[in-house]
Every structure is written in C-alpha cells, then in structure tokens.
Amino acid sequence: MRAAFAATPLLAAPVLAYALLAMVMGGGHAHAHEALTRALVSFPTAGGGDWPVSAADLLLAVGLVVGFLDLLKGAKDRRIAVVNHGLSIALFVACIAAMLLAPAFATSTFFLLTLMVLLDLIAGFIVATAPGEPGQKPRGR
C-alpha cells in the first residue's frame, strides 16, 4: 500500500476532481467555465473590497499544495520512481487529450492544472537524475 501511494502522482487528485465536476455539470466549454468561476463564497477585505473564491480557485490552490507535497514525498526506491514517472507521463497525456477533445476541459483552469502536471513531471525527472550530496550513497541502491 505504501509503495502504491509513493508511485501515484498526487496531482491526479485535482485533475480527477475537475473531471468529476465537469461530468456533473455537463455541457461544453462555456458552461464549465461559468460554473467553475462562479463565486462560492466571498470574503471581505480590510480595504473594503470583496474577495470572491470560486471552485476554479479552490482546484488551483489544491493543485499547488498537492504539487508541492508530491515533490516533497520523492521516491527513495528507483523502481517506485520509474513507476511514478510513467504514471505522471500518462496523466499529462490524458490531460492534453482531454483539453483537445472534450469542450468542458478547454478552460484556463484545466490548462493550469495540466501545466502543474507538466512541471511536476519535469521536476520529478530532475530530482531523480540529480546527483546526491558528496559522500552520499546514490539513491535507489
């Protein structure tokens, strides 16, 4: 179970949450954009303004936090890292396909989630191939 968690790209959670919202909302691009950007709650600011928070804002905030946690968890075992990279590539390809083929996924919110997946993928490769500290054992051995 621990290996499955380590191998799973955590950014799959906000991507799946977006997909569930898109399925529940139905409709195409305009409907998805409208439903995602509608304010769920509004917070008054000290300067007298209002800060509206939408579902899109929450998804992006969760994506940023989860992406950070995904970088921190880092796989210590090389086999788990390879599986994680493979799943991250599959998630990125699925995001690109969804953006190109499904109108409800052609939004700035989903584009930014896709960009987070790409950056996580690149960062994962960089971390996996970076040399360790001098005198340290190489990772995965």
Give 47 or 81, the one with higher predicted confidence. 47
* Strand-pair partners of 53: 41
**CB environment 86-112: b (16+ within 10 A), e (fewer):** eebeebbeebeebbeeeebbbbebbee
Sign of CA dihedral 4, 6, 12, 17: positive
4 vs 64, which has greater pLDDT? 64
Q: How many CB atoms lie within 10 A of CB 57?
A: 17
Q: What is the DSSP string of 99-124?
A: HHH-GGG-SHHHHHHHHHHHHHHHHH
Residue-level pLDDT at 84: 87
> Is the whole-model pTM more than 0.95?
no
CA 87/CA 13 separation, integer angstroms? 13
User: Across residues 80-87, what is the average pLDDT?
Assistant: 87
Specify the pLDDT at position 133: 53
User: Mean of the per-residue pLDDT values for the chain?
Assistant: 86
Is pLDDT of 79 > 70?
Answer: yes
Radius of gyration of the chain (CA): 18
Q: What is the pLDDT of residue 126?
A: 85
